[in-house]
Structure 1
């Protein structure tokens, strides 16, 4: 940015989305938006396990449950370490560098490509395990690249609209806990009509609420947008 002659008038941490102004809505609204998208899977889970919500709530309030989670390296990686580090790198650090060069809109679709490619190391991991053929491993890696890129575009959009990294981190953690929506299972469910309706409503509500819940009005001045060349389409 310095070599390109881009002037930066705010602290680096604020450019990376670590700031106080608008923190509370930035933590709540994008996560709510993501949960709306997962309406179908959440309803699916509630139908199959009616007591699941009560059990999950008790776990959230139980100190011993949290102690077990913190001692679990896989849980720490999926729910804390990966969301924080990946969002700081691929959103907080990368987007402020891309925005002055490409503009906000192009940056939303460019940064996730690096995020998707960064998951190709799983090919080496799966190859070492030797459980699947190379063609299966490459197919899985391709699918992972697709959904990580789509998710990366969403969190990049959230980052530029809110100016906070906390929203992408929480959305990332939530998506890691839920996994990919299992639409095929919903199609073969005894109550498939209700489930398909909830899946459809989740997607429609997500699209309707995407811009209102990420309106910069809730989040104050967005530092990264000061780097954007005109017109500032996303910011």
Structure 2
């Protein structure tokens, strides 16, 4: 009976700490009480400070949540995925795997012409605001979100739950966290409640799905760098513009759709072998 109580308390402690960490991360973004929207330079710069601060706050939650047995088995930095062994593989292999998944969207960009795409983005990036948005989407957001929601959250949950349960459930913290954009859409962008809710629900769905993928990569590779790079790449690609495919000529449309299917099927077959822990010298499957 006492053993069962200890197990329940341990599970409750893990969930509560992760919930508190998620709330703290969101609070750090809104503590400034800015009257501008999230894309305003003033808001972005202030949230950069919040993201930097969370790099020091988040490990405190991890330290509190770790058992003594876990701390004795590995260094604290290694538990967070900050290690050298297998670093080269962690940089390139998960990115390659993700690019296979995005074979369809990448082919669409090739068809549209990379030169036109990047010429346009280069022109846009001349503006100060767009530079800040690029830095936020490709560097600061992937860095702070992956560090908080994966490096500092997953090890705590893995002590109390199975890897499968952790990979499937932990992204809910990440997905729900994106609902704070709903408030911004209503109050700063003038959207109706229904429109903001629909967009937020859609965003919750795909961020949760990505969170599962990222959690799986972190558990298998044991490297923070792998999920950081994959997150940055996914932010760069964005959600595929399915509607654009309908505008293509029949032959081109069939080719693009086939590449979407080929990419997904190939990704399914390669997911397990390309994330084999031994490939990344990951001996930290301690839980």
So what's the TM-score if we normalise by structure 2? 0.70
- 1:75-120 CA deviation, whole Å, 9 max, x = no partner? 1110000101111111100000000101211110111000001111
Structure ranking higher on relative contact order (CA contacts 8 Å, 6+ apart): 1
Contact 1:187 1:196 in 2 (8 A): no
Matched, 1:38 2:38: no
**Correspondent of 1:152 among 200, 211, 229:** 211
Q: Which residue of 2 aligns with 1:11?
A: 75
3-state DSSP of counterpart to 1:101: coil
1:135 aligns with 194
Query: 1:84 and 1:78 mapped to 2: Cα distance?
Result: 10
Whole-angstrom distance in 2 between the partners of 1:151 and 1:51: 29
Q: What does 1:48-197 correspond to in 2, within 5 Å?
A: 48-49=112-113, 51=115, 72-190=131-249, 191-197=252-258
| Separation (CA, whole Å) in 1 of partners of 2:172 and 2:82 | 23
Which of the two has higher C-alpha Rg?
Answer: 2
Stretch moving more, 141-150 or 41-50:
41-50
1:203 paired to 2:267: no
Listed one character per residue, the Cα deviations across residues 32-62 of structure 1 (whole Å, up to 9, x for unaligned) are: 1111111001111111216459x68xx8xxx
Alpha-carbon contact 2:94-2:217 (below 8 Å) kept: yes
Q: CA RMSD in A?
A: 2.4
Instruction: Give, in angstroms, the shift of residue 73 of structure 1.
Output: 1.2
Q: Secondary structure at the match of 1:139?
A: helix
For structure 1, which runs of at least 5 residues remain unmatched after alignment?
60-64, 229-235
2:282 aligned counterpart, secondary structure: coil
Alignment partners' CA distance in 1, 2:168 and 2:98: 19
Report the count of equivalent residues. Answer: 218
Gapped runs of 5+ residues in structure 2? Answer: 1-62
Q: Indicate if the aligned counterparts of 2:97 and 2:274 stay in contact, CA closer than 8 A.
A: yes
